[in-house]
Copies of this chain bind each other. A is one copy, B any other.
């Protein structure tokens, strides 16, 4: 378990890595930070979010817990290239938004004396970079621990403790498959819907008339173009099936309008209202 002597190193001081560092610092834990960008390291130091920082990976050498806040393919490469630096018994965790592929790739390359516990902090913003880091994001967010049969009880408990220190609202455990199916629907599909609403036609001349509805549905259309295509690709099977199901549902509604089937529309609106109420009860 983590105590104040545990050496924790965050690799990747972007929006999420920076927010992690900020949250650890607030909770009184001194953590180290590694980033390829010197500016990000200096910024984290200036803010007092890290006790030591470097662009040099050797800072990870004697860490107990290594938190990689990197895009999926960067995370895999980093472990491949640098795990020889780590001491036996190091626990590696991550923040990636897809899990089946990452867990399977990692498990095939990781040193047997190092454990990887997959985590997904479901928090983010429509901006990137440490300057937008904000530890308060976590207070209303879910932290998902994605464990497999290879994980020890201790690693799972440590992941829970990380989520508690970071003050996540809720901690859940899912298998990689459950995680990816859930994320395809709740997060990836909704981002693609928002993006598609912006792209389907040039609607900028309508900005003057926008009410809350359109603004709510497209807030997440401001999106990190470097990260998401990779996440979409790594979850392509679940995601394409969700997108295609939604497109079919939309076309069904269009047919109801074409055929004047107001009774069925009404039934769908009642069902939608009922289901949405259940979400409010739990949110």
Contacts and interface: CB of A to CB of B under 8 A. Distances in A.
Interface in A181-213: 182, 185-187, 189-204, 206-213
A106 interface: no
Nearest to A271: B199
A149 interface: no
Q: How many copies does the complex hold?
A: 2
A272 interface: yes
A173 to B, nearest CB: 11
Interface stretch (A44-52, A84-92, A237-245): A237-245
A79 to B, nearest CB: 22
Contacts of A223: 269, 272-273
B204 A279 contact: yes
Contacts of A122: 209, 211
Contacts of A197: 189-190, 193, 246
Q: How large is the interface on A (under 10, 10 to 19, 20 to 34, 35 or more residues)?
A: 35 or more
A171 to B, nearest CB: 11
A266 interface: yes
A229 B262 contact: yes
Contacts of A123: 211
A249 B201 CA distance: 10
A198 B272 contact: yes
A243 B252 CA distance: 10
Interface of A: 122-123, 140-142, 144, 170, 172, 182, 185-187, 189-204, 206-226, 228-230, 232-233, 236, 239-240, 242-251, 253-254, 257-258, 260, 262, 265-266, 268-273, 275-279, 281-283
